Amino acid sequence: MHTANPYRRLGRGLLETILFCITLGIGWVGWAAYSSRKGQTPAMGLISLQVIDIESRRPAGRASLFLREIISKGLPLLIIWLLLMQVAHLEAVIALLVALPFGWLIVSFLWLTTYFREDGAAPWDLVLSTQVVDLEPVECDSGPLSPSQDQSVFQTSGDIW
């Protein structure tokens, strides 16, 4: 396992949005409940990404995944939606339609912070002590990396996993 490429994470975000819309949200919630046991969202499962707990290096639990999705996507959208309804006095549905693109922009801006961190952590990863890792092997000149070739990925608190 190694830290997920930021471009794959961006692709995951776009795929997640598409899957949510295609399944009208309802199918996505059921799918997310099933895939969360492996530390994944529906899109993460399709493109071999996983959220792990930094301390244990095991798949993040359902609570962490739920909070991660709420903090990263739901909270910005909710704040904008409520502001549009209260300040601009828009109807709920219209406010939601206006809030969606602005919520996506805020999440995208926050996501861009992953480029400036060596560990690729987004703000919600820092809050919850999680990390998004790529489950596919890393290709290098001599072939895929194994745990013996890249000990830094498997090392926490001085222990080698």
What number is the average pLDDT over the span 8-19? 83
What band does 100 get if pLDDT is binned at 50, 70 and 90?
confident
State the Cα–Cα distance between residues 119 and 115, nearest whole angstrom.
Answer: 9
**Would you state the pLDDT for residue 144?**
54
Q: What is the pLDDT of residues 40-94, one digit of tens each?
A: 989 899 999 999 998 898 998 888 888 887 777 778 778 888 888 888 887 888 8
Helix and strand numbers (H, E) in the chain are: 7, 7
Greater confidence, 115 or 117? 117
Q: What is the pLDDT of residues 82-94, one digit of tens each?
A: 888 888 887 888 8
CB 51 within 8 A of CB 57: no
CB 134 within 8 A of CB 11: no
**Residue 154 scores a pLDDT above 50:** no
Q: What is the DSSP string of 62-119?
A: HHHHHHHHIIIIIHHHHHHHHHHHHTS---HHHHHHHHHHHHHHHHHHHHHGGGGSTT
